[in-house]
Structures are given as C-alpha cells and as structure tokens.
Structure 1
Amino acid sequence: MQDPTDDDAPFTFLPGDEAGGLLVIADHASNRVPPPYGDLGLPPAEFERHIAYDIGTEWLVHRLAAFTGAPTLLTRFSRLLIDANRGEDDPTLVMRLSDGAIVPGNAGVDTAERQRRIERFHRPYHRAIAGQIDRMTATGVPPVILSIHSFTPAWKGVPRPWDMAILWDRDDRMVAPALDAFRSRGLVVGDNQPYDGALRNDTLYHHGTARGLAHLLIEVRQDHIADEAGANHWAKTIFEVVAPLAARPAMREIVFFGSRAGGPGM
C-alpha cells in the first residue's frame, strides 16, 4: 500500500478494520492536478466545478470512515486528468470537453500519454482497491463495497429533485433495502437517476460485479454536502443505514449477477 503521506501518491488510504465487512471508496474525491500537468490550461474557477471532482465527497468520506471504522480509499487526482471511474478502454477516460469546458491540456493526449496517466494515477488506485479487497477477504469476511459520489443540484438549468441517488446494475442485495431505508427517512432518492449504474468496466463493475461482492453506489446532491456540517450529517445518515445492512449474512456471499452493461466474461 502506498504511503498516504506521500504528496505524489495518487490516492489517500485511511486504514480500518479489515474484518469489518465494509470498504469505502471515492473515485472523484479530489480536484488536484499533480505536477507536471499544471492546470491543464484551465482557469482556477473550472476546478471548483463538478467537472473537476465530486464536490463535498472528500469531507463526507473522511467522516464516513470515522463513523464506520472501515478501510477507505480516496483519489488524489482530478477526473479532468483521468477518470478513475472508467475502464482503461473507455473513450471518456481522458476528457477533452466536459460540460462546455474545453480542456487544453488534454487536447494532445495520444496513446502514449494516455498510458502514462493510467500507469501513474488510474492503475495504482485500482490496484490498491483490489489489494484491500484481497486482504479483507482473507479474514473470512468478504467486504461490501460502498462507493460515494455527488451530483449537481441542477443540470442545464433544470433543478434535480433528488436528495440522493443509488446507482446499480443487477446486484440489488444492498440496493433494495437501502432504497427502502433512505426513503423511510423522508428523503427523495433516485433509483438509477440521474445516472444509470450499469457502466461497462467502471469501478464497481471491476471490483464488485466481476468479483461477486455486494456493493452500493450512493450519490449525494452537492448542495447538501457543500460544507463540513452537511457532510457530517450525511455521513451519519449513510452510516446509520448502511452499517446494519452490510452486516447481514447475505452480504458475505460471493454471487455473480452479471451486468446489463456487459464486460469481459459476461
């Protein structure tokens, strides 16, 4: 595992109980662009937008790690540099245009540069997740994977009504009870809205679906977690719902559901 104090590390690792049955990850936690990439030719304001990272998730996930005591991994690079929630073969892995913003530093990315970014940022993060899953599974308690993201309060000027969303593919072991539990708290919860959870070779396909592990992807609306108080509230809410569900015996089983998106071996 890479030293989390290393300023060049592509991810932050927060250690936790490896026999606790829960692994927390955040693919878009940071808007950082490490040297030598500079600002990718963009003004600072663009790095405060959702195109650079999932706003609020870093605070939220740090608090969630404290509540759960779970091992936790967060990226330390912007999705504008390379998107950790895409497969290595995905054409949107390195974006040249994102929600109206042209990314000059990505305009000339060729196969060699794409591979350099994969090897320096993308692959080490995913190797760390895979290694953590291996260690946790070796304790006899295969982990549930909890992935945290956030979404904008409006899109193209249209307000989004959801407080949060759960995105999923075919494995509903965590999804179905989590939807019920969050909705019972009076929350408006999107079910594969505003995005669909079936994405070929994304993080949860690769580490959850393909390995038969129960998993849950939660998106929280960004205005709810734009400050530390909101992040703390939502971390507590997610903990109170997810922790008892993840402890259920059915979540320990290795079950291969396949994917609506397809993928190797599917």
Structure 2
Amino acid sequence: MTSDPETPFQIIGEPRPARWLVTCDHATNRVPGWVAGGSLGIAAADMGRHIAYDVGAAGLTRALAEQLDAPAILSDFSRLVIDPNRGEDDPTLVMKLYDGTIIPANRHVTAADIAQRLGRLYRPYHDAYARLAARRPDTVICAVHSFTPQLKGRPPRPWQVGILYSHRDERLALPLIAALADQGLCVGDNEPYAGHLEGDAIDRHALAPGRPNVLIEVRNDLIATPAAQADWAARLAPVLGRVLADSGL
C-alpha cells in the first residue's frame, strides 16, 4: 500500500494479477492542512456524513479488491475539498452547498484556490488511476461508492444497492443488476441517481478508452462496520466474476 500525508491517494495490492481495478473516488473525509488550515468550517457531524465522503466505501473497496485479487486506488481527500468524480469544468467540482449544509471554506473559493487543489490533489489522483488502469490491456474497472439512506427533506431510498452506468456501455451493468436482483436484493437501475456525467471518473478512465466497467453504490447504513463491508465484498465478488466471465469481454 502506498500512502503518506502528501500523497492524495492510496494504492493497495498493485501487484495483484486480476483484470479488475477497484476504485474509490470518495474514500475519506480528510482535509489537507494547507486547505483552509485543515478545516472547511463545518461541524464534525457534517464531516462524518455522506456530504464529505462515501461512508463505508473505503472498507468495502479494500475488502472487494482482496476478494477479487485486484489492485485498488482510493482518494485521500474529502470530496468537499475537490470532487475527483467530476470533470475539471463541472460547476459542482468544489461544492458550496450540499444537502442543506453550507461549506464556509468554499463560499469564496478563488480560481487560484481551485487550481491549487487540482494540481496537488485531483490531478495526481487521476494520473495514478490512469497508470493503474493501463497496467494491462484488458482492465475492467469497478468503481465503489455509497449513498445515504435519505436526503434531508426527501423520502427514504429503498434500494440496498444501485448499479450506475452510461447508455454508452451497458455490457456489465445490466447483467449485474439482474444477477443481484436474483439474490433477492432491492437493486437500483441507475438509482438513486443517473450514472453518468461528462468528465467523471468512469467517463474519463473507462468510457473514453473503451474499458468495461461497473459502478456500484451500496446504501451506507448497510456497510457501516468492517464486518458488514466484508460481508458485502464476499457477496459482490463472485457475482462480478460470473458476470464478467459470462460477458465474454
């Protein structure tokens, strides 16, 4: 595993041989000390919510990568600092308001601030991601995310897991939805939100170069503990293996 305070990502199991590359764009709520003194100005409780990172996704990523015998890359900065799952020109790249919470450190963010975050966090993460994805010609990307059971003022979300995808590549997503539903799970088909934004991580590293891909969202109350993360990894890995094998890709 590679990680240090100045490296905006962690790489786990780089020598592992599987075709899969498991990714976690929103792995942590860490705010580097050079960003607003290490605090975005919101309460600790908010920094522990889905607005700052994908709760439980990092542990699920590590466990799933181990099950698949695959490498993994995880971001090591909060999505509220800069969101690596957005294009550089996306207006939500640096959020000022998220699920009812104002982000004080971002309210008056400047172009120079954003350029610094791009140069020190966002681009190094994507450079490492691209390098890992290119380690073999038949890489398959599995992006791991989590979602909150309920947004403020909105109805509860019923799905246990969501599979997100672009209409440009449904080759693994659609059979994966069917396979998980066959297990009795409540599966979201491009729910709880649509699965593709221009310039997002899958667009950049999978769709543009033509790599097979899936994006898995697990409801975060279901992966709140290491044991639950391990259970979900053990459930997902064999299904992913079967779906890939059956696809002939």
* Whole-angstrom distance in 2 between the partners of 1:100 and 1:126: 29
Q: Give the superposition deviation at 1:198.
A: 2.0
Given that 1:21 and 1:246 are in contact with CA atoms closer than 8 Å, whether structure 2 keeps it comes out as no
Residue-by-residue CA offset, 1:12-34 (whole Å, 9 max, x unaligned): 00124564211000000101111
Structure 1 pair 249–197 and aligned structure 2 pair: CA distance change class (3 A)? closer
| Corresponding residue of 1:62 | 62
- Tell me the equivalent position of 1:73: 73
In structure 2, the gaps of 5 or more residues are none
Output the CA distance in 2 between the equivalents of 1:240 and 1:45.
36
The SS at the match of 1:106 is: helix
Q: Which residue number corresponds to residue 217 of structure 1?
A: 215
**Alignment match, 2:97:** 97
Question: Structure 1-normalised TM-score?
Answer: 0.88
* Matched residue, 2:107: 107
How far apart, CA to CA, are the structure 1 residues paired with 2:99 and 2:59?
Answer: 24
CA distance in 1, matches of 2:226, 2:82: 27
* CA distances 1:143-194 after superposition (whole Å, capped 9, x unpaired): 1100000111122241111010001102111112101110010000000111
Contact 2:56 2:223 in 1 (8 A): yes
Instruction: Please give the secondary structure, in 2, of the residue aligned with 1:136.
Output: coil
Cα separation, 1, equivalents of 2:149 and 2:163: 16
1:55 and 1:150 in contact (8 A); partners too? yes
Letter in 1 for 2:80: L
After superposition, residues 7-86 of structure 1 pair within 5 angstroms as: 7-17=5-15, 19-37=17-35, 38-86=38-86
Instruction: Give the Cα–Cα distance (whole angstroms) in 2 for the partners of residues 26 and 5 of structure 1.
Output: 15
CA-CA distance at 1:132 after TM superposition: 1.0
Cross-structure match for 1:230: 228
User: Where does residue 166 of structure 1 map in the other structure?
Assistant: 163
The verdict on how the C-alpha distance between 1:17 and 1:179 changes in structure 2, with shifts beyond 3 A counting, is farther
Q: Distance in 1 between matches of 2:76 and 2:246?
A: 32
- Deviation, structure 1 residue 248: 4.8
Q: Aligned letter for 1:208?
A: A
- Measured in 2, the distance between the counterparts of 1:208 and 1:46 equals 32
Amino acid at match of 1:224: L
Residue type at the aligned position of 2:60: L
Q: Which moved more, 1:48-57 or 1:59-68?
A: 59-68
How does the TM-score come out when normalised to structure 2?
0.94
